[in-house]
Structure 1
Amino acid sequence: MAKKSFNELINAPGMPVLVDFFAEWCGPCKAMAPVLQQIAAEHAGKVKIIKVDVDKNPAAAQQFRVQGVPTLILFHQGKTIWRQSGAMPAQQLSQVLKQHIQ
């Protein structure tokens, strides 16, 4: 099966997609990694989580005007439904997701 493009993933019908725009050199981004793993486990089958390295994918970062990392953007069928710059605790992120997923 062919690898789906970033735009195909965020525009797909069905479950929302949480995109983590990060950079390898970013300390707060590294702190978010276990938070996102916990969120993925808690919300399995309800939200898809993908990570986008802004240094390797500058076009995607530019497309969504990512100016700082980490930036989390929640998409549903291609539309941005929530966005946050900076690290956040798992409990807070989980609460946000519960407002937007079923």
Structure 2
Amino acid sequence: MPDKTGPLVEVTDATFADVVLKSERPVVVDFWADWCAPCKVLERSLNDLSEEFGDRLVFAKLDADANPETARAYKVMSMPTLIVFRGGEVVASAVGNRPKIALRQFLETGIGA
């Protein structure tokens, strides 16, 4: 199992397929970069929302600079980018930070709630 950094599971190019694509639960992946200020704000919101969503959704994060293969595979061009996977398939994506209420709606739509 990959390292957990708070409620968000840290994934890499090497662990992405096992953690995200093979997950039985929907997974939201936060593609972030260390230089990205909005990414830090978004991570705080995701940490809060992870408690609210509990076992309905896995929250993961991937450092796009350190893991360019996965970022390239999903055409991530801007940070932060959120992608929701269900059954190994992309079901929703969003670019940029947004208010927590908008994030909640995005995640509920992505998991089919």
Normalised to the residue count of structure 2, the TM-score between the two structures is 0.82
Q: What are structure 2's unaligned runs of at least 5 residues?
A: 3-13
Q: Give, in angstroms, the shift of residue 15 of structure 1.
A: 1.1
> Partners of 1:72 and 1:100 in 2: how far apart?
11
Greater RCO, CA 8 A, separation 6+ = 1
Q: Distance in 2 between matches of 1:64 and 1:13?
A: 17
Deviation string, structure 1 residues 45-87 (Cα, Å, up to 9, x no partner): 0100111001110111001000000000000011000000101
List aligned pairs for 1:5-20, cutoff 5 A: 5-20=15-30
Work out the CA distance in 2 between the residues paired with 1:14 and 1:76. Answer: 8
Aligned twin of 2:48: 38
The one-letter code matched in structure 2 to 1:41 is: E
Q: Which runs of 5 or more residues in structure 1 are unaligned?
A: none
**Partner residue, 1:26:** 36
Structure 1: which 4+ aligned runs deviate by more than 2 Å? 99-102
Aligned length, in residue pairs: 101
Q: Which residue number corresponds to residue 88 of structure 2?
A: 78
- CA-based RMSD: 1.5
Give CA-to-partner distance per residue, 1:4-56, whole Å, 9 cap, x none: 82012222242100000000110110110110101111101010011100111
Mapped partners of 1:46, 1:99: distance in 2: 12
Q: Please name the residue that 2:10 is paired with.
A: none
